[in-house]
Structure 1
């Protein structure tokens, strides 16, 4: 059909064939065909007589990002008096992302004497926003006022977008408030500006004002509103906008479907997101990524990776965003084999790996207990191409594995090479010092923050309290909290409560717990910790009160799950797994394992079990903790003694299992790597890398 149209045009020299060429240009899908058409238009001389065809060819070249050819067409035309062609070329630069070239072209346009109009300014303003040039944008704003276009609705909407893109929201709001008339586009631009600057409540308040002025949402506004509600995590309002989208048939537009799906994900409504995903037959990459993100953000990493397997056999290609989500999910699970597979997939499918993705893959390997690969990836990047996140990732990796001295060395190298540490850097290095018991070094790093002009945030105080508390400096930790310039948050008090658990300080523990119960009344873990402190001091009356409080509030201790990978599958174990044909052998292995480690000094730590349980039952409950079941499974199936047994737990490993794992590593001559919610534990020959400091 294309060639037929081309032949018609060739055979009609001198006739009115502009419409034929226009249709052909519109349907052109390759640069080679476009060049052929351009050649015919030039040799026949037709293009000289049609401003419209010149503009069409310019835009078509820009669609293929061939801006040099587009500029060649512009230069070959009689454009000196045609603002239409100048605007077309400016549009080509702006919409193709050539922001600097667009602004240079605008300057040339002004020097040539071409007067800008209401089509010119929006493209110039867009380039300012995309290139984050608020100063240039304000100069354009002044010129807009001087040339009399300050009250043009299209220009005003572009000004709002420019100020929003440059993070000058208040300047954009001033333009908005001065408008004599606002259409739906202007309202949507201002609402979107607030949403993108994470001022969701203000965005929704403005939406309410818009509706009071009798404007109805279109699908573009609905996308913005869904994103704002997602930021707030407001499930009630999420249902409302979902219903509105259905009633107004917006679900025919895939961007609306994707935004509603993403909104439910951020509200923690996984089941509702699943329903929308499965009801959507025509899915694009964003749809898949939205559902993957939903699982990943809501702690369902296994479901995310299972969905990724489905995506791979669909007709949609994973992209860089997909890779980031999947890498994050693998980091959560801590599977080394899976990490290698995902990295191989990224390479084999030639997914562009920018520094953000590279850093994420480094982090994945570190969290999957493969520090050697993480370090190798760090060293493969030229020093000049690294960023602060690259350094932070490796410092954090060393810290979580208990290699505090190596983390400090890396921190010093970072400063030596001219990289400015940020608040994340200090969180990582203080955490590393805490996990390794490097108290004096941690104090020095904390003091160093002021010299390097890094503001101390609650997260840093939490790390310091954790470090001092684990080291037995409970009074100093409490004094640090009392002297904070801002209100201590739950992380700070939580660190103190954990330290009180370690040292059995019920008095100070109660102070921390009372603050935590006020700040996070629904957080079960704090009740359990305080209950354990009372149990250690045999204060059963207070234990009973706390358990009753939990019951009254409907709080339940979160279920612990321990994961171990074998034969390319992740196997999960919970405490007290149901006895069946699969678990029978595992239970028997646990019993033999306990007998053997008792012969080298294992004594069960019964403080890990509630007091109102029979003594015999306490021993049984400890033996069948999820991590012990996972370990028994590993000993049964990972026959190569040179391979480490790797286990991931979603909660803190208990003191009884920690002791048992040390002794198992000695008796069986196996290396065991456990990642709990706080850190990594490397068990070998009867010792743990944490030096019992966790």
Structure 2
């Protein structure tokens, strides 16, 4: 076997690689081998030889190795770039979904007076399609015509795909019609484009005109029709398919889920001959995204029982469903499963675990997960800051923010939403104003409507209603429902009818379907004893077919979720629960509690009836159930769909001391941790 000879230093510049060297380079198959050859080339100065550098670049961009940093480094060391080298690197950027860099490199190539060929153009056009950069795509289309590639089928096919993906279906059709040789990919792309734009007629007509079809042609039509809501027609096409593959089944299931037809989706899911992971994920994700969290988790358990190993996408849906239910036991079970099966808990999964524990009321577990993440990203810090703020731990949230900044990590817009929310839940007006200004002046982040919403909320909660209204009127965008509801709720809580009516009028104009507007306005009038106005608001709701959501509280015990509404008597333990309620009432009276009957927003004259109304609030029923069933020493965790009223808040504080129990209540805006007769919100919520 021929060996490489030692070359004196003075002759390195003139050393020419032998055929053997090039053969070894071309036959390299792994990254370690390529790195060794790269090192040898640098040591012997062969790296400057065009053949060697080209071979190295080809190896790094090869999909089997695909090392973009080394590919770029090698490219940058080459003095005279050729079109071939640009093509290799542009393709690698697009392959790695880094289309911005691909288009930037294409511009560099043009500046070196190198003209693209029919290999360069499809890659760059594909990059524009992924970016949705239709303006740049049209410029490249003009270059295509100038350079004489207007008849090249690969270039034209990529243009059809780009226009279709960017919803320029008319342009896609015009390019398609100029093609002398229309390939199957172009037919499928155009059919999919028409279907997704909702032009079912054109999509079906094109499908019928196809000279030949493959399975993807059918699937493409099914998927496109499903995504634009034409599920019935999609099902007809699906049933006509010669050999339905998993992609077709999944497209159809996904279509039913997105249209809200869960029964049909489940029937079809059960009919899949042999489900793949995508089928399971599609069904679980569909349930989760539509708020059907229990079914999502049941299906997740079925999947595990069928010996399917979930992937990150499955766990994202499962953890999101747990967060929606606030089911801590299920969340801990999924977390244990992830550890046992050695899932890497960073990135999105790390963020979702922090969010899950925060939303399930265990902020300590959220912090433990957060601290265990070795390579924290801004998203992890943001999730922990948001969670801390939600639990009323403003000091912890702000400390975390300062810690994030100390690592010279740049907070993003969502981080500041978490910080401002923390200030809002703690009534830190001055801090809220300071962080709002910091976001703009120090980090150059222009406030979105969400940031303005947080600032308005801080001001409304602390009674600075005139300043809040001033901000609403001076914002560069129209106030949305959330901001107007904050203003209305603040006016109701602080008894300012003028600003309340101002907010309500704008809200009914902006979003007349907002049920909460009618409810808060009605409550404001009821608190002021203006029952005629209460009747008018309720009559307006009745005419428009709106109904107030009843107060509902849920509590988990031994993996089962128990739900209660006001005055609920449907639970199997109703007798024991109401006996416990009676016991609670006696103990509260002994502790000196006087019911706050102003919280009864019904036209009831008798004070005893008002007190009875308060005693039957859903969270009190849930607390009674918890005291009966959850062993002493364990926290009682309750989730309520509405804001906790003042009287229930006072009662829960007292009960936590009377029974020596930690009671954690998540209402529609935050968590309350009741211990030893006090609440984490410090009576500000």
Q: Are residue 689 (structure 1) and residue 662 (structure 2) matched?
A: no
C-alpha contact 1:67 1:93 (8 A) present in aligned 2: no
Change (3 A) 1:401 1:103: closer
Change (3 A) 1:225 1:657: farther
Match of 1:297 among 289, 296, 309: 289
Match of 2:102 among 134, 143, 166: 134
Give a deviation string over 1:651-688, Cα, whole Å, max 9, x none: 32233322221221222222211111211101122222
User: Match of 2:370, SS?
Assistant: helix
Find the counterpart in structure 1 of residue 181 from structure 2. none
Q: Number of aligned residue pairs: give it.
A: 614
User: Match of 2:665, SS?
Assistant: strand
Find the counterpart in structure 2 of residue 32 from structure 1. none
Find the aligned partners of 2:199 and 2:161 in 1 and give their Cα distance. Answer: 8
Match of 1:397 among 387, 393, 409: 387
- Aligned-residue RMSD, C-alpha: 4.3
Mapping of residues 58-207 of structure 1, within 5 Å: 66=30, 93-94=62-63, 97-100=66-69, 123-124=91-92, 126-127=94-95, 129-130=97-98, 132-135=100-103, 137-139=105-107, 142=110, 149=117, 152=118, 156-166=121-131, 168-175=133-140, 180=150, 187-192=160-165, 204-205=196-197
C-alpha contact 1:192 1:224 (8 A) present in aligned 2: no
Match of 1:471 among 458, 462, 472: 462
Quote how far apart the aligned CAs of 1:267 are.
Answer: 4.8
Quote how far apart the aligned CAs of 1:588 are.
Answer: 2.4
Find the counterpart in structure 2 of residue 502 from structure 1. 493
Find the counterpart in structure 1 of residue 45 from structure 2. none
Give a deviation string over 1:423-449, Cα, whole Å, max 9, x none: 111111111111111111112112212
Find the aligned partners of 1:271 and 1:606 in 2 and give their Cα distance. Answer: 45
Change (3 A) 1:412 1:378: same
User: Match of 2:351, SS?
Assistant: helix
Mapping of residues 156-305 of structure 1, within 5 Å: 156-166=121-131, 168-175=133-140, 180=150, 187-192=160-165, 204-205=196-197, 211=203, 214=206, 237-239=229-231, 242-243=234-235, 245-246=237-238, 249=241, 252-305=244-297
User: Match of 2:512, SS?
Assistant: coil
Find the counterpart in structure 2 of residue 627 from structure 1. 619
Change (3 A) 1:437 1:574: same
Change (3 A) 1:228 1:574: farther
Find the counterpart in structure 1 of residue 179 from structure 2. none
Match of 2:308 among 298, 310, 316: 316
Quote how far apart the aligned CAs of 1:318 are.
Answer: 0.6
Quote how far apart the aligned CAs of 1:456 are.
Answer: 1.1
C-alpha contact 1:99 1:131 (8 A) present in aligned 2: no
Q: Are residue 667 (structure 1) and residue 641 (structure 2) matched?
A: no
C-alpha contact 1:586 1:632 (8 A) present in aligned 2: yes
Quote how far apart the aligned CAs of 1:193 are.
Answer: 5.1
Find the counterpart in structure 1 of residue 403 from structure 2. 413
Mapping of residues 549-588 of structure 1, within 5 Å: 549-579=540-570, 581-588=572-579
Give a deviation string over 1:19-61, Cα, whole Å, max 9, x none: xxxxxxxxxxxxxxxxxxxxxxxxxxxxx9xx9xx99x99xx7
User: Match of 1:252, SS?
Assistant: coil
Change (3 A) 1:116 1:566: closer
C-alpha contact 1:160 1:173 (8 A) present in aligned 2: no
Can you give the 5+ residue segments of structure 2 that lack an aligned partner in the other structure? 1-19, 38-50, 169-191
C-alpha contact 2:397 2:422 (8 A) present in aligned 1: yes
Find the counterpart in structure 2 of residue 441 from structure 1. 431
C-alpha contact 1:191 1:203 (8 A) present in aligned 2: no
Quote how far apart the aligned CAs of 1:161 are.
Answer: 1.3
C-alpha contact 1:672 1:684 (8 A) present in aligned 2: yes
Find the aligned partners of 2:64 and 2:158 in 1 and give their Cα distance. Answer: 19
Quote how far apart the aligned CAs of 1:243 are.
Answer: 3.8
Find the aligned partners of 2:234 and 2:105 in 1 and give their Cα distance. Answer: 37
Name the stretch that deviates more: 408-417 or 524-533.
Answer: 408-417
Mapping of residues 422-571 of structure 1, within 5 Å: 422-452=412-442, 453-571=444-562
Quote how far apart the aligned CAs of 1:534 are.
Answer: 1.1
